[in-house]
Amino acid sequence: DIHRASTTAPVNIAVIKYWGKRDPKLNLPTNSSLSVTLSQSDLRTHTTASCSASYSKEDSLLLNGAPQDVSGARTQACFRELRALRSQLEDSDASLPKLAALPLKIVSENNFPTAAGLASSAAGFAALVRAIANLYKLPSSPTDLSRIARQGSGSACRSLFGGYVGWEQGSASDGSDSVAFQVAPASHWPSMRAVILVVSAAKKGVSSTTGMQTTVATSTLFASRASETVPRRMQEMQNAIQNKDFETFGKVTMMDSNSFHATCLDTYPPIFYLNDVSRAAIKVVESINAAAGRIIAAYTFDAGPNAVVYYLEENEKEVAGLFKTLLGEKDGWKGERGEKIEGNFA
């Protein structure tokens, strides 16, 4: 017989960026970070995990129908940790089926074009870890699962929670205290929206993993970002979320994105994630805010040129409206909590 469980995990978009590892093997970061998890109906990965004695010996993973390599250290770490927890359960209760010893088959689908170059490893590893935990009927909390998903991809630990989510960098060398925590549920500030501008569908030039390692090794701006700037902003951001203070939320979001990309430029050889269209998007946000006389829109960019713009529902017309006009409403689609527009400024 085949044992099976499914789950979905959404993408999260950081407003305080994770950039730098103090331990690349365990994905332990050099600073805490904070993100907003999109709703389940937006960008997400759906994953089914199954295991059976009838499967061929090897574990396998299909992503959007294509076989993926599961021999990498990150995927292996997730499998190993989850199997160890299942084995403990089986050791303590002899009536449980022996699932830990069986080959795993993981089938994942993204509901957005993988080619769009949008962060998918976060949703991917979060869904993979939770699907296997469900399959194994583990009593693990989201915090426990975040500790495991972090080893798959750092940012994945934040997608185990909905709403406004922090990732505490922790200080333990085994990573036991480097976990995600919920700052506030989505319902706390339900008018938050995000529009994603797909500037380029190309795959990123420098991967996050490689980029952060080079930054840690060469950037002179990096040390003060990690030790002073980010710790202060983590506090400011948590307060802004508690107080539903969009001006501070937006300002800190934009400044932290700029700080992260400045650190990338300060890396040697330099890393450029933003392009001319990204910079045009920044100018549009600046002009929206100038016209409003306050901050009603905030941009942020990950390790690529695509812009994510946060705004509140009541300012939908001014913010998404202006972008829509610029983009000519090309290839747009609307999710439950955010508007996604594909296209560029051409």
Shortest distance in whole angstroms from residue 317 CB to ligand DP6 = 29
Interface with ligand DP6 includes 32 (CB under 6 A)? no
175's CB contacts (< 8 A; 6+ apart) are: 23, 26, 27, 28, 147, 150, 151
Residue nearer to ligand DP6 on the CB measure, 168 or 318: 168
Shortest distance in whole angstroms from residue 51 CB to ligand DP6 = 25
140's CB contacts (< 8 A; 6+ apart) are: 85, 133, 148
Interface with ligand DP6 includes 233 (CB under 6 A)? no
Residue 234: closest CA among 22, 18, 33: 33
Task: Specify which residues 21 forms β-bridges with.
Answer: 29
46: its two tokens: 């759906």
CB count, 10 Å around CB of 24? 13
Establish whether the linkage from the previous residue to 113 is cis, with ω within 30° of 0: no
Q: Is 241 helix (H, G, I), strand (E, B) or coil?
A: helix
Residue nearer to ligand DP6 on the CB measure, 154 or 338: 154
DSSP, res 158:
G
Shortest distance in whole angstroms from residue 281 CB to ligand DP6 = 17
Residue nearer to ligand DP6 on the CB measure, 21 or 83: 21
Interface with ligand DP6 includes 197 (CB under 6 A)? no
Interface with ligand DP6 includes 155 (CB under 6 A)? yes
Q: Which stretch binds ligand DP6 (CB under 6 A): 96-104, 152-160, 179-187, 232-240?
A: 152-160
Residue nearer to ligand DP6 on the CB measure, 12 or 47: 12
Q: Which stretch binds ligand DP6 (CB under 6 A): 151-159, 229-237, 238-246, 284-292?
A: 151-159
Residue 24: closest CA among 207, 187, 166: 207
Residue nearer to ligand DP6 on the CB measure, 75 or 155: 155
List of residues contacting ligand DP6 (CB under 6 A):
14, 17-19, 27, 33, 119, 121, 153-155, 208-209, 302-303
